[in-house]
C-alpha cells in the first residue's frame, strides 16, 4: 500500500510540473518571437535616424516600446526565463535606438523607467548608442557640419566617462566592460577624424582667402 501511495504522489507531482513546464515553454516561445521583432524594429529605427527621417524613427520607437512591454508581460510569470539573455539583448537594442535618436537630436536621454528596461540592458544600450553616433558624426563631417559632429563627440565622451565607473563583474553587467572598451576605441577614432577634418577645412579656408587676396591685388 505504501508503494502505491508513493507512486500516486509522484505521478501527481510530475503532472503538475509538466503543466508548469509547458506554460513556461509557451511563454518562452512568445517572448523569443517578441524579442526578435523588437530587435528588428529597433534596427529599423536606427536606420531612419541616420537618414534624418526622425518622425518615422519616433513611430518605430513607440512600436518598439509596445513590443518590449508585450515581451516582458509574456515572460513575467517565469523570472528564470525573463532574465535569460535574449530579453537582455532585445532590450539593449531598443535602448540603443532610443538613445541614438535622443543624442543626435540633442534631447535628454530616456531613463530606464520610461523604456521599462532592466538596468544592465539600459547601460549596455547607451554604450552601444554612443558608438553608433560615430556614423552620424562622420556623415555630418562630410556635410561640413563640424559643430554637430563636435556635439556628438562630446556626448559620446560623456557616456564613456560615466560607464567606466560601473566597475562590476561582467556576469553582473552583461558584458559592460566590452561595451566600454569598444566605445573608447570609437571615441578615439572619432576625435582623430574630427581633428583631421577641422584641419583640412581650415587649410581650405586659408587657401581660398589667399586666392581672394591675390585676385584683388592683380
pLDDT band at 2 (very low <50, low <70, confident <90, very high): low
Is the pLDDT reported for residue 134 higher than 90?
Answer: yes
Q: Answer yes or no: is 17 within a domain.
A: no
Quote the pLDDT of residue 184: 97
Residue 2 domain flag: no
Q: Which domain holds residue 187?
A: 22-217
CATH number at residue 209: 1.20.58.2140
51 domain residue, yes or no:
yes
**Does 218 score more than 70 pLDDT?**
no
Asked if residue 202 has pLDDT above 80, the reply is no
- Please indicate, yes or no, if residue 5 is contained in any of the structural domains: no
Taking the C-alpha atoms of residue 86 and residue 98, their distance in angstroms, rounded to an integer, is 19
Q: Does 113 score more than 70 pLDDT?
A: yes
Kindly state whether residue 170 falls inside one of the protein's structural domains. Answer: yes
Q: Residue 39 domain-assigned?
A: yes
Cα 15 to Cα 53: distance, rounded to the nearest angstrom? 54
Could you count the other beta carbons within 10 Å of the beta carbon of residue 168? 10
Number of structural domains (the chain) is 1
Q: Alpha carbon of 68 to those of 13, 115, 128: distances in Å?
A: 34, 9, 18
Could you tell me if residue 9 is inside a domain? no
Q: What is the pLDDT of residues 45-95, one digit of tens each?
A: 999 999 999 999 999 999 999 999 999 999 888 887 777 788 999 999 999
pTM for the whole thing? 0.87
Assess contact for 183 and 159: CB atoms under 8 A: yes
Amino acid at each position: 500500500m505504501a508503494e502505491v501511495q508513493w507512486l500516486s504522489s509522484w505521478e501527481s507531482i510530475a503532472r503538475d510540473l509538466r503543466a508548469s513546464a509547458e506554460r513556461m515553454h509557451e511563454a518562452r516561445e512568445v517572448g523569443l518571437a517578441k524579442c526578435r521583432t523588437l530587435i528588428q524594429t529597433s534596427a529599423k529605427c536606427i536606420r531612419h535616424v541616420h537618414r534624418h527621417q526622425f518622425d518615422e524613427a519616433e513611430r518605430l520607437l513607440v512600436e518598439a516600446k509596445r513590443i518590449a512591454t508585450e515581451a516582458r508581460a509574456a515572460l513575467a510569470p517565469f523570472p528564470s526565463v525573463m532574465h535569460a539573455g535574449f530579453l537582455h539583448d532585445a532590450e539593449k537594442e531598443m535602448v540603443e535606438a532610443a538613445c541614438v535618436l535622443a543624442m543626435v537630436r540633442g534631447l535628454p536621454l530616456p531613463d530606464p523607467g520610461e523604456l521599462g528596461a532592466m538596468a544592465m540592458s539600459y547601460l549596455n544600450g547607451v554604450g552601444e548608442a554612443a558608438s553608433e553616433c560615430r556614423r552620424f558624426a562622420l556623415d555630418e563631417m562630410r556635410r561640413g557640419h563640424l559643430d554637430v559632429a563636435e556635439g556628438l563627440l562630446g556626448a559620446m565622451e560623456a557616456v564613456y566617462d560615466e560607464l567606466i565607473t560601473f566597475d562590476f563583474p561582467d556576469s553582473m553587467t552583461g558584458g559592460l566592460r566590452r561595451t566600454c572598451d569598444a566605445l573608447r576605441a570609437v571615441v578615439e577614432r572619432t576625435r582623430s577624424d574630427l581633428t583631421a577634418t577641422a584641419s583640412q577645412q581650415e587649410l581650405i579656408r586659408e587657401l581660398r582667402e589667399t586666392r581672394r587676396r591675390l585676385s584683388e591685388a592683380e
